[in-house]
Structure 1
Amino acid sequence: MMHQKILSGTPTASTDSDVHLRLDGLTKRYGDSVAVAALDLAVPKGELVALLGPSGCGKTTTLRMVAGLITPSDGRIIVGGSDITTTPTYKRDMGLVFQSYALFPHMTVAKNVAFGLEMRSVPKHEIEKRVKEALAMVRLEALSERKPRELSGGQQQRVALARALVIRPSILLLDEPLSNLDAKLRDEMRTEIRDIQQSLGITAVFVTHDQVEALSMCDKVVVMKGGKLEQIGSPIDVYEAPATPFVASFVGRTNRLEGSANGDGTVIIGTAVLRVPGRPGGKVEILVRPHRIKLVDANASPEGSAERFNRLAGTLTRVTFVGDLLQYHVDVAGTEVIVEAASDHGRGFWKAGAPVALSWRVEDTMVFGRGA
């Protein structure tokens, strides 16, 4: 790995006294296949942490091992200083919210929420009080006597969240809870879950493949690939200073160009000379995010010095309207580069076929060794 960009202000590591949930070398094997490989993770009390990655990366397997639904092949799960690796699920003091909601169809909303308390033999008067509080928290007091089939998807998800929180768990586990909702509801539920988690100060682990959910909701993001940890950091860290090309491309959109670094802070791409942070050498990949690039007239003077701005010539091949954005597709010596800009009522100033130049700040350039 040769990423040269440095981001200041990275949070310091948590001390042992801060950590509420610790995964120590957590591993899951199925025969010769390794689903999760020696995962280490420390989650401070009150933090919301995202396990982010594509399907099959091991994030849900990790969550289910924490919940006690899957037995680890190796490693330890420690909560509040106690090793719970072999503790049965029902003794782990964890609230679970599943993608499928998993509500009992024959029970009312109130009964669904009360179920966990009844299984714990909580007194009836206490159950009634806590169910009422939980439903108020998710704004469903008026729907307490309805059945799940009489609710919208967003309302069902709120019931599932209330059911998980009513037992007052030590840790809240959420397994892609928003994936079945439409875009508007996802936005609303992201805000609601985060607000509730912060108001309660509860430690939570959130599994998702959606980068927007991870970046907008969580204190820390754990990026996984092929059962292995790629990077742990704050949302700003993993977006602005990705540790690998995979993290850069999965967490946000990127353009990728191949070139040869001279070891003096410059990279040759075709006939162009680009400046990059640091002094890499050899074959490299240059990554630049689409919204960090400015599209300019091919004949226009550079907007700044070559020490501060990179510039590439190309031909505009297509303009795509995507609502609040216009995507400009530019051919640069056979490689497509996408530039994103705010849309103007669906009208693009630039037309396909026009010679253009791409300009961006040197500091917005990410560089990795080829094959990193």
Structure 2
Amino acid sequence: MMHQTILSGSPTVSDDRDVHLRLDGLTKTYGNSVAVSALDLSVPKGELVALLGPSGCGKTTTLRMVAGLIQPTGGRIVVGSNDITAMPTYRRDMGLVFQSYALFPHMTVAKNVAFGLEMRSVPKAEIERRVKEALAMVRLEALAERKPRELSGGQQQRVALARALVIRPSILLLDEPLSNLDAKLRDEMRNEIRDIQQSLGITAVFVTHDQVEALSMCDKVVVMRAGKLEQVGTPIDVYEHPATPFVASFVGRTNRLEGRARGDGTVDVGPMSVRVPGRPGGNVEIMVRPHRIRLLDADAAQGASGEGTNLLSGRLTRVTFVGDLLQYQVDVGGTEIVVEAASDHGRGIRSVGSPVALAWRVEDTMVFGRSA
């Protein structure tokens, strides 16, 4: 259950239990510009961890420093007990899957997958066996002799994944590998990557700006902003107990309202009074996720009132059909609040202009302090 009081916003990190990858004060600057700032992170062995954040937050720079493609300005990268900060990429025992797939167009699928093994001088018979196993893992055995141009986007992504895994890396690094796929293929590949990662027990770091990918695939989510960690936690922790307003709004949709807390568990937001968890004081920002709000007919609102429920009256200003959801925009005393509800085959859609009521549990209200 969400029960949010004013938080300091300091990020939490994983404990050192069976840590496989550790970043200590990892920093990257370009002149006066700081891309990554003193980042500390511990990744236990066998976990899939997402680096999540908007463009320019430093997540891809962090991944490339771990891979050895970018040299850090400061800090350390430790795998097991070994400091690999200065180690060249080819010695790091890491498999990389890029957004662009980076397949060799003149090579067959089998040759693409075999390339890393050939560079390591693995015996030919061993290469053939391991390539066959890797292609079976991603269900591409029948396409071994095709060229990349003869494959769909999803198939090319599977080849890139097989090529990264065939070398049996200690760590798998994935840089937005699903961003070029359509929605249905992204869903399929999310499940496939997660299943393979779990079956192999491999430690993996996954860069994405897509909250759904991070929440649905990963053991831990690392939310980044402007080169710094905002929060580290399980998907449920980050979604239900965001440490900062940025995390709350980036990881999931939310309504954001500014107000003045009275110190008695209520916040004045314009003409509205909203009850919140705890007894914050001063200027605050409150947030409520759209799917946690119930949209009621105005004449049925009184039945929803109660000690643990916020109840507000408003007027419906817009209805948007988005497939499985209906998004309602409601004007409440000059403030717009968005509500999401199941579309139910298009039945029961309320008319724009109709009076409505909004109800949500007090415990579903997130509260954050803000400056005056």
Using structure 2 for the length normalisation, give the TM-score. 0.95
Work out the number of aligned pairs and report it.
Answer: 366
CA–CA separation in structure 1 for the residues paired with 2:76 and 2:274 = 47
Residue type of the partner of 2:34? V
Shift of 1:302: 3.2
Shift of 1:353: 0.4
Shift of 1:272: 2.8
Shift of 1:53: 0.3
Structure 2 match to 1:86: 86
Structure 1 match to 2:60: 60
Shift of 1:65: 0.1
Q: Aligned pair 1:316/2:323, yes or no?
A: no
Could you tell which deviates more after superposition, 19-28 or 258-267?
A: 258-267
CA–CA separation in structure 2 for the residues paired with 1:365 and 1:302 = 20
CA–CA separation in structure 1 for the residues paired with 2:281 and 2:6 = 15
Shift of 1:276: 0.7
CA–CA separation in structure 1 for the residues paired with 2:318 and 2:347 = 13
Could you tell which deviates more after superposition, 266-275 or 203-212?
A: 266-275
CA–CA separation in structure 2 for the residues paired with 1:206 and 1:240 = 21
Aligned pairs for 1:100-249 (under 5 A) are: 100-249=100-249
Structure 1 match to 2:5: 4
C-alpha contact 1:275 1:307 (8 A) present in aligned 2: no
Shift of 1:225: 0.6
CA–CA separation in structure 2 for the residues paired with 1:306 and 1:23 = 48
Shift of 1:332: 1.5
CA–CA separation in structure 2 for the residues paired with 1:163 and 1:86 = 25
Q: For 1:345, what is the secondary structure of its paired residue?
A: helix
C-alpha contact 1:319 1:348 (8 A) present in aligned 2: no
C-alpha contact 2:297 2:355 (8 A) present in aligned 1: yes
C-alpha contact 2:304 2:311 (8 A) present in aligned 1: no
C-alpha contact 1:326 1:348 (8 A) present in aligned 2: no
Could you tell which deviates more after superposition, 349-358 or 136-145?
A: 349-358
CA–CA separation in structure 1 for the residues paired with 2:327 and 2:36 = 37
Structure 2 match to 1:37: 37
Structure 2 match to 1:298: 298
How much is the aligned-residue C-alpha RMSD, in angstroms? 1.7
Q: For 2:337, what is the secondary structure of its paired residue?
A: strand
CA–CA separation in structure 2 for the residues paired with 1:115 and 1:301 = 66
Structure 1 match to 2:345: 345
Residue type of the partner of 2:121? S
Q: Residues 93, 175 of structure 1: CA spacing in aligned structure 2 closer, same or farther, 3 A cutoff?
A: same
CA–CA separation in structure 1 for the residues paired with 2:272 and 2:303 = 17
Structure 1 match to 2:365: 365
Q: Residues 57, 45 of structure 1: CA spacing in aligned structure 2 closer, same or farther, 3 A cutoff?
A: same
Shift of 1:296: 0.9
C-alpha contact 1:3 1:244 (8 A) present in aligned 2: no
Q: For 1:351, what is the secondary structure of its paired residue?
A: coil
Q: For 1:243, what is the secondary structure of its paired residue?
A: coil
Q: Residues 42, 303 of structure 1: CA spacing in aligned structure 2 closer, same or farther, 3 A cutoff?
A: farther
C-alpha contact 2:294 2:358 (8 A) present in aligned 1: yes
Q: Structure 2 unaligned runs (5+)?
A: none
Could you list the per-position Cα deviations for residues 135-178 of structure 1 after superposition, in whole angstroms to 9, with x for gaps in the alignment?
Answer: 00000000000000000000000000000000000000000000
Using structure 1 for the length normalisation, give the TM-score. 0.95
Could you tell which deviates more after superposition, 324-333 or 213-222?
A: 324-333
C-alpha contact 2:16 2:42 (8 A) present in aligned 1: no
CA–CA separation in structure 2 for the residues paired with 1:306 and 1:262 = 20
CA–CA separation in structure 2 for the residues paired with 1:44 and 1:31 = 33
Shift of 1:13: 4.5
Identity across the alignment (%): 82
CA–CA separation in structure 2 for the residues paired with 1:213 and 1:232 = 16
Could you list the per-position Cα deviations for residues 239-281 of structure 1 after superposition, in whole angstroms to 9, with x for gaps in the alignment?
Answer: 0000111101110000011111011111112333221111110
C-alpha contact 1:308 1:362 (8 A) present in aligned 2: yes
Structure 1 match to 2:354: 354
C-alpha contact 1:21 1:42 (8 A) present in aligned 2: yes
Q: Aligned pair 1:28/2:22, yes or no?
A: no
